[in-house]
Amino acid sequence: MKNILYTLIILFVSTISFAQQSNTMYFLNQTPQSTLLNPAFKSECKWYLGGVPAQITPVFGQVFSPISFNFNNTSFGLNDFIHPGTGEYKDSLVIDMVQFVNSLHNYNYLTFDFQYELLSFGVKVKDYFFTFHATERVDFKFGYTRDLFQIPLWGNGHPANIGRTANMSFALDFTHYREYAVGVSKEINNKLTVGGRAKLLMGMTNIDTKANDNTWLTDANTFDYIIENQTEVNASLPFVNYLYTDSNTSGNIDSIEFDDFDPAAYLLMGKNKGASLDLGATYKYTDRLTFSLSLVDLGFIRWKNNTFNFTNTGDIGFNGVDISQQLSVGYTEEGSLGVDGDSTANAFTKFADSLLQEFTFVDSSLYYTSYLTPKMYIGGNFKINEKFNVGALVKVEFYKKLIHPSLTLSANSQLLKWLAISGTYTMINREYYNIGLGLSMKMGPFRMFWVNDNMLAFFMPHRSRSVNWRSGIYWAFGCKNEEKAKSTLY
């Protein structure tokens, strides 16, 4: 039974856990999806069509449009949280909170994103290559400190916690939006190619939190608490109405009402608009060596529909509750040491009242702005021969004033006329066993690609912090003669 349950959990996690935007896709320049990572990349074909219109194929019937599911965890693996027990628990799965906390860094992230391509096409016009993408996107990020779990688990009087300021901060961000993107790339000369993409964003749902300087200090001598809090939450939740206690928007929320969910109205929502920009370039330093650089998702969304703003700030010192006077001398009639419950309850009530007085809660329904997660890609490619090349990629994500880097090394080949393959090795999240694989297949005008950044996660999901999946189909026409086309990335 233990083995069956453990296997089911692993299969469940491996099904829903998908990692960061695929680094391996960067090296499959034969596919239009690579332009999402660098708008200077361009197709070897005169035009292509992807998305929902390309789903119907005479070869495979109806298949999915280009799609990606991504999950990334910077700290722990499944086996750090739940694993087979030992000793008297050897036949059971155990939840190991101590090992889980010990696996955490000072600050940690869980991220998830989903992308579904509704429509894409590209066309070459003289020296320019124009692209269009319409994509449904979901982005989720949760940042949290180790102390957020360590303080409740071990207690604030634990030697590891007492006498130091614990960081109790967290950040939760969720956004669902649609992206309409128009891009263009141009070969400036035989060495330099530049590209850019402008994107109109239509926001649908958002939760944006800013939790700064949330701390807990326990004095090493007196055991007094000093708690400081500064939390800000903004949200745009469709079909949710907030009713305030007074006519202005600075009052407290009296009640919340939920309207019936209308899928059509939700998907066509147009009040929350934003914009984003992607920039990229490639430079052919020699006939064999090429460099590339791109900045993507430089943008924001202005939220106006069903907004909610919540701010909580304050600090308080707590000296504890003295119950010595409430302890009765001797025993009660029931035979146990007596405590004056009313007096003790009053002491805690006074503490709760002081919390409410010191911490200020402010509600409103003001417009606000949220920002995308910018990403920078710095790549290099060296052509060994006409069929084989190697590359390197540094990717940096910027989130909550912190940077999250990764390094990917690749070996790429036009293995057959109809098959391009890319093998990668990625170092990310202090993990050093991420082996990726990318395939791009051609059957006449029909093209298919499949990309994964961490193949080992399918065999060791309990140890993996990130897994990646991206796949899709498209039609391409007017491509270079396969006999003459060069097997290079750029």
Q: What confidence score (pLDDT) does residue 56 get?
A: 58
Question: What pLDDT score does 486 carry?
Answer: 42
How far does CA 342 lie from the centroid of its chain?
49
Q: Which residues pair with 364 in a beta bridge?
A: 309
Residue 277 inside a domain? The answer is yes
Residue 133 lies in a domain: yes
Interatomic CA distance for residues 79 and 9, integer angstroms:
11
pLDDT digits (tens, 9 = 90+) for 18-73: 234 578 888 887 788 888 899 999 888 899 988 766 665 544 444 456 778 788 78
Q: Supply the pLDDT for residue 399.
A: 80
| Cα–Cα distance measured from residue 37 to residue 279, given in angstroms and rounded to the nearest whole number | 9
Rounded (10°) CA dihedral 26, 29, 31, 33? 40
Cα Rg of the chain, angstroms? 28
Residue 487 lies in a domain: no
Q: How far is it, in rounded angstroms, from Cα 81 to Cα 72?
A: 16
- Structural domain includes residue 482: no
- At residue 13, the pLDDT reads 33
- Give the amino acid at 255: S
In a domain, residue 483? The reply is no
Q: Which domain holds residue 20?
A: 2-477
Domain count, the chain: 1
What pLDDT score does 198 carry? 98
Residue 50 is predicted with a pLDDT of 84
In a domain, 361, yes or no: yes
CATH code of the domain in which 255 resides:
2.40.160
Cross-strand partners of 255: 243
User: For the chain, which ranges sit under pLDDT 70?
Assistant: 1-21, 52-65, 211-212, 243-255, 318-362, 429-430, 461-463, 481-490
β partners of residue 182 = 132, 198
Question: DSSP letter at 157?
Answer: T
Write phi, then psi, for 98 (nearest 5 degrees): -65, -45
Is 6 part of any domain?
yes
Residue 361 pairs with which residues in a beta bridge? 312
Answer whether 52's CB lies under 8 Å from 38's CB.
no
> Which residue shows structure tokens 């009313």?
342
Tell me the backbone φ, ψ of residue 461, rounded to 5 degrees.
Answer: -65, -25
DSSP reduced 3-state for 11: helix
Q: State the sign of the Cα–Cα–Cα–Cα dihedral 24, 26, 32, 35.
A: positive
Residue type for position 223: F
> Tell me, what DSSP letter sits at residue 441?
E
Whole-number Å distance between alpha carbons of 198 and 484: 33
Name the residue with tokens 């197709």.
43
DSSP letter at 3? H
- Is the distance from CB of 190 to CB of 144 less than 8 angstroms? no
Q: How far apart are CA 148 and CA 166, in angstroms?
A: 8
Q: Is residue 128 part of a domain?
A: yes
Phi and psi (nearest 5°) for 305? -95, 125
